[in-house]
């Protein structure tokens, strides 16, 4: 089974390193403990030596926590070794060093918003900066309507209109309008990646909790609310607290029946839905090295389900290859220093893991798929930013080239949708995903949107009291539109296998 | 949003210079923010931040708010889909009529076992305080969550711990005080109990049971919420001029 080891030494190094040197050779006081360790405040003195750079903002946006005081090491070691997340935030705040717990003003490279977040964000932006105000950079705001877009709901459609008006008024360069099919893309997180807006070393904010998806590109990406987004729209910056990093080392050969969705469900089950609150989750190891970009996105997508601020997979040749031709903006990748301090380290031997599900009603309610084989299901849903990328559909189709019950296959993104109808499924004698799904009796793959994952307007698919296996990311009560429905989160293989049998099914029943 | 129960602390007067070392960049921040067509240079943002740090700590931390009323008690992991289900997210919080409507749907996603948060036919809740367990507000980044609670009439949530985006959104909007209890208190309080939350003393008193609980200090979030959110706070403390 998986082995989990915590690195007490790493934690000790982290604490010892939380000293902040003053110019005169002494150290600034450790104020009190933050969530995860000492919170250092630069107490400004009104003296000529107090420079602007040393004065910092105290924590405004995070609960102060009074844990027991940890005494700083006496040797006054200056922390130079940084984690990937710390490096990205240091660069974005023009600092040469920083420590977890520190609040810094970072420049945003991209602000993304969609039809649910944009109207409120725009309202706040205009109220605070003036009705004729212009966004800080028309090329850094990316507008992607994707949540409630194929619906008769009037307010939903009005909200897309609000987005469109704003895009025109501000001459926003990147607006993926649903009216213009050549430009429409669908689910925001996949679109951001496909359109080259995710770049290593950058800072990306989005009015959506799964913005952390982009951490797969070795960048700092996190979800924010309308007010913070409105602030960024006007200033291009945001005050954020530097998170400490939890490191997940994933080694070993991935079994053929295991997908990265199984890995992240395994991890969330390990640390719980609050196990990474206010922290960064970094994924490294030989298994990660072999992952595709879509795999890495699946990993990072769900870090928010563990409460994390961001997820990060350091960029490598796989990343660079993916980005070729997608972006012309230069980027500078970062990775954690060898001597960097991590709050905790977890090690997994992926070859020993089994397919898992998250049982109702929590993403950390982990169970082995094979132990749920008596759970009769009503519906299977394969889609969403988490589990509706091209590779997810190929995986499902590969397993499904057999028979079936009732499945809904919406997909994620226009390009993914096109892939469903064009790419041949390995081992299916030249059939495309769509052909396999249709032959197996699934509902026709539909146009891309987020709707069903979160139970959108009344005419959204699957808002019923059912037992559903889903490749989505959350299964809290009522998530898909019905409070009594039971949602099992699973990988595309597990979902496909379950669709074939009508029960929660371990994919090994079908994959040798 | 009504803040009738909040006692405002004295804030530094707007006349205080933003920073002695960089008055020119601070004024460029002030003026450029509102007529904002360009981004704010980081130096100016640092001026803003040093203003916050330079003010005396007593004025920049804590709140004197006291909230008295009935409490509504829930448990752990109350996620944003329960606080405001996704089907209501077409309501735009910055539009006043829709803001009110959002309030009427607050907590409508809760399983029946917790009881009704808003009475049939009403659009506001009778509960001023929500008491929760761990990881309150987990799930989505939707700002509609603290907004719906605030619009419904909630003044404070007292929970064992919070999910980060919900906490942040509560402070940024100023909609409610996200207070942390010292330890778990949701098991000892019942929906309908009369409570007083005193942020200055750091206590929650349950008048129905006679018990008292310690709260963690609200810290720097206090003045921001007192003022009505980050933008209002920035204006009140003279960091940015009043809206034109």
B134 — contact with chain A (CB < 8 Å)?
yes
pLDDT tens across A489-509, in order?
999 999 999 988 899 999 999
Q: Residue A268 above 80 pLDDT?
A: yes
Mean pLDDT is lowest, of A181-190, A237-246, B55-64, for B55-64
H/E element holding B99?
A: helix B96-104
What percentage of chain A reaches a pLDDT higher than 70?
79
Give chain B positions within 8 Å (CB) of A148.
89-90
CA-closest candidate to residue B109, choices A477, A501, A465: A477
A64 — contact with chain B (CB < 8 Å)?
yes
Please report the pLDDT score of residue B34 as a whole number.
31
CA distance B230 to B244: 17
Please report the pLDDT score of residue B45 as a whole number.
52
CA distance A453 to A464: 12
- Kindly indicate the confidence band of residue A130, based on its pLDDT and cuts at 50, 70 and 90: very high
B residues 181-200 lying closer than 8 A (beta carbon) to A: none
pLDDT tens across A300-332, in order?
999 999 999 999 999 999 999 999 999 999 999
Q: Residue A16 above 80 pLDDT?
A: no
- Show the tokens assigned to A253: 């050969």
User: Coil, helix or strand for A78?
Assistant: coil
CA distance A179 to A228: 28
A244 — contact with chain B (CB < 8 Å)?
no
Q: Are strands A27-28 and A20-21 parallel, antiparallel or unpaired?
A: antiparallel
pLDDT tens across A39-50, in order?
323 222 222 332
Residue A467 CB burial class (10 angstroms; 0-12, 13-18, ≥19): middle
Do the Cβ atoms of A507 and A494 come closer than 8 Å? yes
CA distance B19 to A190: 43
Do the Cβ atoms of A311 and A400 come closer than 8 Å? no
What integer best gives the mean pLDDT of chain A?
82
- Show the tokens assigned to A352: 């020993």
- Kindly indicate the confidence band of residue B27, based on its pLDDT and cuts at 50, 70 and 90: very low
Whether B169 and A227 lie within 8 Å, measured CB to CB: yes
H/E element holding A250?
A: strand A245-251
Beta strand ranges found along B189-232 (DSSP E): 194-198, 203-206, 212-214
Whether A477 and B221 lie within 8 Å, measured CB to CB: no
The pTM (predicted TM-score) of the whole model is 0.81
Please report the pLDDT score of residue A442 as a whole number.
78
CA distance A362 to B102: 25
A51 — contact with chain B (CB < 8 Å)?
yes
A505 — contact with chain B (CB < 8 Å)?
no
H/E element holding A300?
A: helix A293-301
A165 — contact with chain B (CB < 8 Å)?
no
Do the Cβ atoms of A118 and A163 come closer than 8 Å? yes
pLDDT tens across A435-445, in order?
888 877 777 77
Whether B19 and A44 lie within 8 Å, measured CB to CB: no
Do the Cβ atoms of A180 and A187 come closer than 8 Å? no
- Kindly indicate the confidence band of residue B33, based on its pLDDT and cuts at 50, 70 and 90: very low
Nearest CA-CA distance, residue A64 and chain B, Å:
6
Q: Are strands B177-180 and B194-198 parallel, antiparallel or unpaired?
A: unpaired
A481 — contact with chain B (CB < 8 Å)?
yes
Tokens 């205009």 locate to A126
For residue A290, the tally of other CB atoms under 10 A from its CB is 12
A427 — contact with chain B (CB < 8 Å)?
no
CA distance A468 to B194: 41
What percentage of chain B reaches a pLDDT higher than 70?
73
Nearest CA-CA distance, residue A421 and chain B, Å:
31
pLDDT tens across B106-143, in order?
999 999 999 999 999 999 999 999 999 999 999 999 99
**What is the interface size between A and B, counted as CB pairs within 8 Å?**
242
Report cis status (omega within 30 of 0) of the bond before A361.
yes
- Mean local confidence (pLDDT), A235-258: 96
- Show the tokens assigned to A381: 């849903």
H/E element holding A168?
A: helix A154-170
CA-closest candidate to residue B99, choices B131, B66, B146: B146
Whether A134 and B231 lie within 8 Å, measured CB to CB: no
CA distance B80 to B142: 7
Give chain A positions within 8 Å (CB) of B111.
477-478, 483
Q: Residue A210 above 90 pLDDT?
A: yes
Per the DSSP assignment, residues forming a β-bridge with A379 are A468
- Mean local confidence (pLDDT), A413-433: 72
Do the Cβ atoms of A471 and A382 come closer than 8 Å? yes
Q: Which positions ≥6 away from B102 have C-beta within 8 Å? A: B84, B88, B91, B93, B144, B147, B148, B151
- Kindly indicate the confidence band of residue A287, based on its pLDDT and cuts at 50, 70 and 90: very high
A residues 355-384 lying closer than 8 A (beta carbon) to B: 362
Per the DSSP assignment, residues forming a β-bridge with B204 are B197, B213
- Mean local confidence (pLDDT), A405-425: 62
Cα–Cα distances (Å) from A395 to A192, A416, A426, A436, A511, in that order, read 22, 13, 9, 11, 11
CA distance A182 to A167: 17
**Closest chain B residue to the Cα of A362, Cα to Cα:** B77
Q: Is the ipTM of this complex over 0.90?
A: no
- Kindly indicate the confidence band of residue A51, based on its pLDDT and cuts at 50, 70 and 90: very low
Mean pLDDT is lowest, of A7-11, A325-329, B64-68, for A7-11
| Site from B101, B108, B143, B226 to mutate, A interface, most A CB atoms within 10 angstroms | B143
Nearest CA-CA distance, residue B73 and chain A, Å:
17
Q: Residue A14 above 60 pLDDT?
A: no
Q: Residue B5 above 60 pLDDT?
A: no
Q: Residue A283 above 90 pLDDT?
A: yes
Q: Residue B240 above 80 pLDDT?
A: no
CA distance A400 to A442: 10
B42 — contact with chain A (CB < 8 Å)?
yes
């Amino acid at each position: 089974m998986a082995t989990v080891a915590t690195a007490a030494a790493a934690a000790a190094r982290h604490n010892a390193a939380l000293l902040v040197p003053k110019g005169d050779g002494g150290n600034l006081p450790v104020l009190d403990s933050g969530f995860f360790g000492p919170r250092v405040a630069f107490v400004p003195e009104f003296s000529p030596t107090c420079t602007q750079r040393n004065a910092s903002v105290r924590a405004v946006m995070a609960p102060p926590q009074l844990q027991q005081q940890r005494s700083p090491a006496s040797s006054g070691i200056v922390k130079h070794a940084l984690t990937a997340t710390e490096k990205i935030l240091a660069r974005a705040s023009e600092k040469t060093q920083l420590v977890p717990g520190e609040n810094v003003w970072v420049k945003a490279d991209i602000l993304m918003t969609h039809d649910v977040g944009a109207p409120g964000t725009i309202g706040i932006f205009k109220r605070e900066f003036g009705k004729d105000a212009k966004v800080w950079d028309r090329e850094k705001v990316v507008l992607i309507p994707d949540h409630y877009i194929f619906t008769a709901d009037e307010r939903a459609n009005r909200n897309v209109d609000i987005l469109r008006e704003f895009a025109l008024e501000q001459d926003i360069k990147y607006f993926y309008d649903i009216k213009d099919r050549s430009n429409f893309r669908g689910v925001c997180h996949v679109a951001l990646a496909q359109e080259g807006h995710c770049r290593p070393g950058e800072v990306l904010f989005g009015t959506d909790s799964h913005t952390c998806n982009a951490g797969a590109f070795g960048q700092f990406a996190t979800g924010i609310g309308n007010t913070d987004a409105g602030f960024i729209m006007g200033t291009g910056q945001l005050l954020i607290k530097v998170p400490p990093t939890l490191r997940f080392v994933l080694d070993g050969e991935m079994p053929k029946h295991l997908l990265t969705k199984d890995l992240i469900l395994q991890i969330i089950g390990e640390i719980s839905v609050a196990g990474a609150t206010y922290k960064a989750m970094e994924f490294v190891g030989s298994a990660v090295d072999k992952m595709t970009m879509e795999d890495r996105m699946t990993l990072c997508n769900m870090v928010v389900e563990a409460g994390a601020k961001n997820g990060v997979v350091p960029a490598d040749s796989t990343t660079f290859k993916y980005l070729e031709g997608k972006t012309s903006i230069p980027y500078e990748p970062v990775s954690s220093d060898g001597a960097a301090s991590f709050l905790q380290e977890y090690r997994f031997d992926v070859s020993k893991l089994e397919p898992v599900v998250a049982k109702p009603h929590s993403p950390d309610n982990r169970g082995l798929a094979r132990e749920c084989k008596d759970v009769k299901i009503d519906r299977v849903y394969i889609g969403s930013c988490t589990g509706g990328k091209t590779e997810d559909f190929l995986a499902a189709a590969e397993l499904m080239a057999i028979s079936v019950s009732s499945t809904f296959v919406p997909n994620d993104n226009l390009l993914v949708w096109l892939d469903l109808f064009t790419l041949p499924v390995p081992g299916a004698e030249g059939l495309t995903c769509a052909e396999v799904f249709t032959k197996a009796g699934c509902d026709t793959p539909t146009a891309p949107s987020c709707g069903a994952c979160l139970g959108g307007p009344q005419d959204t698919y699957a808002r019923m009291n059912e037992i559903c296996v889903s490749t989505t990311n959350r299964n809290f009560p009522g998530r898909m539109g019905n409070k009594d429905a039971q949602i099992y989160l699973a990988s595309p293989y597990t979902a496909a296998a379950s669709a074939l049998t009508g029960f929660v099914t371990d994919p090994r029943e079908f994959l040798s | 949003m009504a803040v009738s129960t909040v006692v405002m602390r004295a804030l530094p007067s707007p006349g205080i210079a933003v920073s002695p070392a960089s008055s020119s960049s601070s004024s460029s921040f002030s003026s450029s923010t509102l007529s904002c067509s360009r981004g704010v240079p980081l130096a100016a943002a640092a001026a803003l931040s040093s203003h916050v740090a330079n003010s005396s700590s007593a004025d920049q931390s804590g709140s004197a708010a006291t909230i008295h009323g009935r409490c509504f008690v829930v448990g752990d992991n109350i996620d944003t889909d329960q606080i405001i289900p996704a089907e209501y997210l077409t309501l735009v919080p910055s539009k006043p009529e829709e803001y009110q409507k959002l309030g009427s749907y607050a907590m409508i996603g809760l399983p029946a076992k917790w009881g009704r948060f808003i009475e049939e036919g009403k659009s506001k809740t009778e509960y001023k305080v929500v008491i929760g367990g761990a990881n309150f507000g987990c799930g989505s980044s939707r700002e509609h969550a603290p907004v719906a609670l605030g619009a419904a009439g909630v003044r404070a949530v007292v929970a064992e711990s919070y999910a980060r985006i919900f906490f942040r959104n509560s402070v940024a909007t100023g909609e409610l005080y996200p207070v942390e209890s010292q330890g778990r208190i949701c098991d000892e309080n019942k929906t309908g109990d009369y409570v007083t939350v005193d942020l200055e003393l750091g206590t929650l008193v349950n008048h129905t049971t006679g018990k008292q609980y310690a709260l963690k200090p609200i810290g720097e979030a206090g003045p921001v919420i007192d003022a009505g959110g980050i933008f209002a706070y920035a204006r009140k403390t003279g960091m940015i001029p009043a809206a034109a």
